[in-house]
Structure 1
Amino acid sequence: NGIHWFAPIVADAEAGFGGALNVFELMKAMIEAGAAGVHFEDQLASEKKCGHMGGKVLIPTSQAVRNLVSARLAADVMGVPTVIIARTDADAASLITSDVDPSDHEFLTGERTMEGFYGVNAGIDQAISRGLSYAPYADVVWCETSEPNLEQAQRFAEAIHEKFPGKLLAYNCSPSFNWKKKLSEEEISRFQEEIGAMGYRFQFVTLAGFHALNYSMFDLARNYRERGMDAYSDLQQAEFAAEEHGYTATKHQREVGAGYFDEVAQIVAGGAASTTALTGSTEEAQFDSPESPITGLPGSTQNEQFVK
């Protein structure tokens, strides 16, 4: 409709890469780069792990809160109403840097490690405690879980909403979970709808692109070894078929912006440029056909002049 917009980006700020001042500068940089939302987790930055790995070390609750305050201050200074997401890894983290915060005392085990860290009882109770502490300082609260568990998700949501009604929640539908090992097909089918009803309005599959890219390339390579160009032709036909659903990467030259630079060249040359890239290209000759309904770039010279 003539409206130009950018898809909103939610950026991963990890654990802030330091203290509150590092968080402040990082938040400013991410806003300048165009992030609409930024999430921060409560791990020790120097020992940061994926939420589904072992060895995670928490920072005290009060320190994590200071990081959230610092992020909000950065957004205010920049004058941008950025969405702040507070993530806790307390469900699976069994270590903490310090016993300074009374909020963490009930979870301390009394044990110490060779690195000087304190032991804590990992679990949903610890995650709820931290979620309640973070809720006043964040737009969205995210509990990183160890498995896709509806009962656990409901327990966390109810605890947060009891004190903060309507608080937005985030859920990582992670590829680190073995979904069919943990849930039935019926449970998988209704999983997102059910947690959505609980208040988990921001749901995502971390690394979905990584797995899709690697599997599709592996599948093509395996089939190419056995079937040669038939394998690639099948992939290409699948691309053509997907265009009616909005897929646009069949023509890779156009996808990466060749038409844009053709338009620049035409403007500079007063419409008389003879070196435009898409004119005379194989994409123009072979792909602009009823078989490939997606043609050109809307409003561009490629769309107006080069599509036959």
Structure 2
Amino acid sequence: ALLRADQIDWAEGNKADWLVPIVADAEAGFGGPLNAFELMKGMIEAGAAAVHFEDQLSSEKKCGHLGGKVLVPTGQFIRTLLAARLAADMMGVPTLVIARTDADSATLLTSDADERDAPFLTGERTPEGFYCVRAGLEAAIARGLAYAPYAGLVWMETSTPDLGEAREFADAIHAEFPGKLLAYNCSPSFNWRRHLDDDTIERFQRELAAMGYKFQFITLAGFHALNESMFELARGYAAEGMPAYVRLQEREFELEADGYTATKHQREVGAGWFNEIAQAVSGGQSSTLALKGSTEEAQFDGNGSAAH
């Protein structure tokens, strides 16, 4: 999608930089170190500038905000990080490895073999054979410190948006690894207003940045935005018909002043770009240009606003 946008802008004589860095989600690596190694290579070939891995058991992988998460031993995850770093080094690229721990809320562990995990074992076992562990900030800090030498950024997945918890984690990591870059998931799985007032929400990310959380993101923001907007359109269309869609279109026209371009959906998917290709291969004599005679050409002016 970014390559196509870059091609469209290039054909139109614009110079926007569409090829921005992409951070890819490698989940728990989909297996062992060799799987992580091959996956990292594939991510790099696809254009990822950074890839994050998490310390869960791949076969029992869960969203970080669900229950039932199973951790792998600390040392096992370090081997995953080393495999990812080796893949990047062998390919000669500075792709970042991001290490995520789910120890703040995960209560299960595959093995008691790693002595670094021993302080958090409860002595209990599950019917599946997993070891029960004490989740929490202390466990997350211990793992963050263990992973820090092997990753460009460290990320603790949290259950609530808590500046105090974030500060304690950051302080512990920076005490041993000054300046270590941190990541924070400003997750839509949090009920933000239930936890924070408007003032805290407004300054939340600035304060995180001051603590060293230089990569902040909202996972699934697009999912929620698309679903909310489509729901609003569907509800309006069911009640009123076309006026509901026309209101949406008028809003698109208004947003063009701020750089919105999707009003012209044919242009957005590359019709103009392919016109240029057709002209190039036909010596400028193509009679099948897609936008020539189109409703988009006839009804939307050069700025994308409605023709009257």
TM-score by structure 1 length?
0.93
Partner of 2:236: 223
For structure 1, which runs of at least 5 residues remain unmatched after alignment?
A: 294-308
Does the alignment pair 1:165 with 2:146? no
Does the alignment pair 1:245 with 2:258? yes
Cα offset, 1:292, TM superposition: 2.2
SS at match of 2:145: helix
Cα offset, 1:43, TM superposition: 0.1
Equivalent of 1:271 in 276, 284, 289? 284
One-letter amino acid of the structure 2 residue matched with residue 28 of structure 1: K
Q: Which has the higher contact order (CA 8 A, sep 6+)?
A: 2
Cα offset, 1:81, TM superposition: 0.6
Equivalent of 2:214 in 166, 180, 201? 201
List aligned pairs for 1:142-153, cutoff 5 A: 142-153=155-166
Classify 1:80/1:71 alpha carbon distance in 2 versus 1 (closer, same or farther; 3 Å): same
Does the alignment pair 1:85 with 2:98? yes
* Cα distance per residue 1:14-70 (max 9 Å; x no partner): 000000010000000110111110000000000000000000000000001010001
List aligned pairs for 1:90-101, cutoff 5 A: 90-101=103-114
TM-score by structure 2 length?
0.93
Quote the Cα distance in structure 1 between the aligned partners of 2:195 and 2:95: 35
Partner of 2:75: 62
Quote the Cα distance in structure 2 between the aligned partners of 1:282 and 1:102: 68
SS at match of 2:182: strand
Cα offset, 1:290, TM superposition: 5.5
Does the alignment pair 1:102 with 2:115? yes
Equivalent of 1:17 in 30, 33, 36? 30
CA RMSD of aligned residues (A): 1.3
Classify 1:139/1:104 alpha carbon distance in 2 versus 1 (closer, same or farther; 3 Å): same
Structure 1: 4+ residue segments shifted above 3 A = 1-5
Partner of 1:137: 150
Cα offset, 1:2, TM superposition: 4.9
Partner of 2:275: 262
SS at match of 1:280: coil
Partner of 2:61: 48
One-letter amino acid of the structure 1 residue matched with residue 78 of structure 2: V
Cα offset, 1:163, TM superposition: 0.4
Contact 2:108–2:131 (8 Å) recurs in 1: yes
Report percent identity of matched pairs: 69
Partner of 1:155: 168
SS at match of 1:80: coil
List aligned pairs for 1:285-304, cutoff 5 A: 285-289=298-302, 292=305
One-letter amino acid of the structure 2 residue matched with residue 115 of structure 1: E
Partner of 1:298: none
Contact 2:27–2:52 (8 Å) recurs in 1: yes
One-letter amino acid of the structure 2 residue matched with residue 244 of structure 1: A
One-letter amino acid of the structure 2 residue matched with residue 195 of structure 1: L
Does the alignment pair 1:30 with 2:60? no
Quote the Cα distance in structure 1 between the aligned partners of 2:115 and 2:93: 34
Cα offset, 1:281, TM superposition: 0.4
* Cα distance per residue 1:174-219 (max 9 Å; x no partner): 0000000010011111101111110000000000000000010000
One-letter amino acid of the structure 2 residue matched with residue 277 of structure 1: A
